[in-house]
Structure 1
């Protein structure tokens, strides 16, 4: 009896000495995959975008500054060329208008018939010459008679050409005066064989020594030449 009890106790102890389930070993976990480092490429892309925007801004600023400087220069030039007509030179008017006794031109302008004429200094293109005259409340000269042209040329330098207010804006040989005066074929003063070039759309007045006379000559509008401005007399 005692032997059976002893055997039972040994068997129980042997069974109980098996694996310890009270503190099982922690299962081996799977290795955590490493995340790719995406922050560096994102920083590079952001930096490139920033640099691109900075370059675009610099280019835009340079273009704006150049245009602004050019605008200021043109405004200054126009202001310098503009005369305020604060001083007038007057003579008794021959006009039939009884309420207007005096016929006046701005100082340093010359008077002929009912018009005043001025010869600006400095060579300009046709468009710039027209703008300069407009800034003086005038326009490029419109010549409608031989007497008028003879008077104008009395004050001209024979070595200089002068733009007049006649042009062919459409390039179709349809000549037009700047003040909308009708172009009269019978009152034109072209040099012989002029106009001569379909690509020359503006008209200048120049002197030809061989002919010993002043006359009209078509020319490219971008050429820098002298000019003559004209305005109606101021009546007081």
Structure 2
């Protein structure tokens, strides 16, 4: 099979312990992602999710507040997205512009104390790999959740917001290799 082929398959659990993500979804989209000749040659994401490198991303069409968004991702066996590279930021910014039109997506970066930012999975916050809009984050601790503001049309599109705002979200989980 060529590396551009993909398949939609029902997921059959092997004897391995299925991940929380695998337990939530029955239809998966898989594509060839590793060199031919290896035993496990397909990377799979739940149907409707988008794959980039080794992760699957869910861009919601409904809106929730910050805490509900985090719980919704967890309930699907994933978490609010943790952005660790410029390439990932570019991919997600582009995905966010795809229809339907949505402006803001919660990501997994939170202000745990004044000017103390932390990723949901405890990945160290690296200020040099942050993509804040000009003038962001706002001073103080009222706006302690982070969104990707897609209409910004440049890579620096993060904005801190109040946690009660009902917005979209991006969930991330590791792709399943079969």
Identify the TM-score tier after normalising by the shorter chain: 0.7 to 0.9
- Give the structure with higher Rg (CA): 1
More helix by share: 1
Q: Residues 191 and 106 from structure 1, CA distance in 2 versus in 1: closer, same or farther, beyond 3 angstroms?
A: same
State the 4+ residue runs in structure 1 displaced beyond 6 angstroms.
none
Query: Which of 171, 176, 186 pairs up with 2:118?
Result: 176
Deviations 1:52-91 (A, max 9, x none): xxxxxxxxxxxxxxxxxxxxxxxxxxxxxxx831111111
CA contact (8 A) 2:102 2:168 kept: no
Q: Matches of 2:138 and 2:81 in 1, distance apart?
A: 22
Number of residues of Structure 1 aligned to a counterpart in Structure 2: 151
Q: Matches of 1:163 and 1:183 in 2, distance apart?
A: 16
Instruction: Give structure 1 stretches of 5+ with no counterpart.
Output: 1-82
Q: Matches of 2:96 and 2:28 in 1, distance apart?
A: 22
Q: Matches of 1:100 and 1:92 in 2, distance apart?
A: 9
Structure with bigger RCO (C-alpha 8 Å, 6+ apart): 2
Alignment-derived partner of residue 87 in structure 2: 147
More strand by share: 2
Instruction: Give structure 2 stretches of 5+ with no counterpart.
Output: 1-22
Q: Matches of 1:220 and 1:97 in 2, distance apart?
A: 50
Alignment-derived partner of residue 105 in structure 2: 162
Alignment-derived partner of residue 129 in structure 2: 187
Cα RMSD of the aligned pairs, angstroms, is 2.1
- TM-score, with structure 1 as normaliser: 0.59
Q: Residues 208 and 197 from structure 1, CA distance in 2 versus in 1: closer, same or farther, beyond 3 angstroms?
A: farther
